[in-house]
Amino acid sequence: MATDLAEFIGAALGLYLLFGIPLFPAALIAAVGSFAILELQRRGVRQLEAGIAGMVLIVVLAFGLQMVFAQPEPSSIFKGLFTPQFQGVDSVMLAAGILGATVMPHAIYLHSALTQKRVIGKTEIERKQIFRYEFFDVLIAMIIAGAVNASMLIVAASLFFGNGLLVEDLDVAFNQFGEIIGPFSAILFGVALLASGLASSSVGTKTGDIIMQGYIKRRIPLYVRRAITMIPPLAIIALGVNPTAALVLSQVILSFGIPFALVPLIIFTSNRKIMGSLVNHWLTKFLAWAIASVIIVLNLFLLYQTLQMLF
């Protein structure tokens, strides 16, 4: 539901920015669009995946062009890449949000479920070959997700921070794109918001279905689930809550969810009884626990800083 909240609001904002439709009617139109994407599933998983992949391609192209228009300094990019730093609680919260948006915890369950019955290896050699394909599949997906998130930061730093502008809302960013670069850049930003919102919301709905089947062995019809998970974002928009703030907070919530998916994943894949010859290598285990520890420490630090501010 945290995923749906972010992506649903993103799609509604995209419609609002592109066509000037008020947020609540835009959210209802986004709802219809997300149902239409789920309808692709009736034609088969391949059709659904093709639809989502097409929208992801739109997002990648949009932010790729934004990078070209922004013309960031390569030296600044490398400096930020190799010398990361925090400046207060807000920057820690944004870092946690970016982490949650890139490594969405529910995607671990969804990806496993979509692939486990598609191609079944009958022999040890076949299983290892399938594993290699899956490894590159996940690697490419993470590189794309990381590149899109990085390009957003780089473009914002180059265009807004570089010009002394404080941009905290997506509608302000949309207007600034139009003023600094031109209308086409602003349209690209709105289209990317709309496409990413519609694509990711359907992913969240599918995942909820899979997780419930696995944990409590219950299945709610996909369209009923879609309708239920629309309630929080529609309520937030109807109440007039700042949509950008709600979007960032939802990604932070996702970041807090990562350890709950990652820690069991490491434990299971390190168990030879479960994995057989595909059990984690000791180096994989070491790196996985190190990464999980960093994420947990980051989340605990954010909690501590936030509580300190409140009390």
With contact defined as beta carbons under 8 Å apart, do 52 and 141 qualify? no
Kindly tell me if the per-residue pLDDT of 310 is higher than 60: no
Cα-based torsion angle of the residue sequence 60, 63, 65, 67 in order, rounded to the nearest 10 degrees: -130
With contact defined as beta carbons under 8 Å apart, do 271 and 311 qualify? no
Residue 271 binned pLDDT confidence (cut-offs 50, 70, 90): very high
pLDDT for position 267: 94
What is the rounded distance in angstroms from the CA atom of residue 280 to the CA atom of residue 258?
19
* Over residues 63-76, mean pLDDT: 87
Token reading at 169: 């809302």
pLDDT for position 282: 93
Token reading at 154: 């780089």
* Over residues 195-210, mean pLDDT: 76
pLDDT for position 256: 79
Greatest alpha-carbon pair distance for the chain in Å reads 60
Q: Which residue has the higher pLDDT, 211 or 44?
A: 211
For residue 150, which of 89, 91, 98 has the smallest C-alpha distance? 98
With contact defined as beta carbons under 8 Å apart, do 5 and 236 qualify? yes
Kindly tell me if the per-residue pLDDT of 284 is higher than 90: yes
- List Cβ<8 Å contacts ≥24 apart for 17-21: 17/170, 17/171, 17/174, 17/186, 17/189, 17/190, 17/193, 18/187, 18/190, 18/191, 18/194
pLDDT for position 286: 95
With contact defined as beta carbons under 8 Å apart, do 247 and 10 qualify? yes
Q: Residue 139 burial (CB < 10 Å; 0-12/13-18/19+)?
A: exposed
Contacts with 154 (C-beta within 8 Å, 6 or more apart), sequence order: 67, 70, 72, 77, 80
Give the pLDDT confidence of 96-114 residue by residue, as tens digits. 777 776 777 777 777 777 7
Buried b (16+ CB within 10 A) or exposed e, 109-122: bbbebeeeeeeeee
Q: Which residue has the higher pLDDT, 44 or 198?
A: 198
What is the rounded distance in angstroms from the CA atom of residue 219 to the CA atom of residue 55?
28
With contact defined as beta carbons under 8 Å apart, do 259 and 292 qualify? yes
* Over residues 136-160, mean pLDDT: 84
Kindly tell me if the per-residue pLDDT of 159 is higher than 80: yes
Mean of per-residue pLDDT scores for the chain: 81
What is the rounded distance in angstroms from the CA atom of residue 205 to the CA atom of residue 4?
8
- List Cβ<8 Å contacts ≥24 apart for 109-117: 109/207, 109/210, 109/211, 109/214, 109/261, 110/203, 110/206, 110/207, 110/210, 111/138, 113/210, 113/214, 114/45
Q: Which of 179-183, 272-276, 302-306 has the lowest average pLDDT?
A: 302-306
With contact defined as beta carbons under 8 Å apart, do 4 and 232 qualify? yes
For residue 12, which of 171, 150, 146, 224 has the smallest C-alpha distance? 171
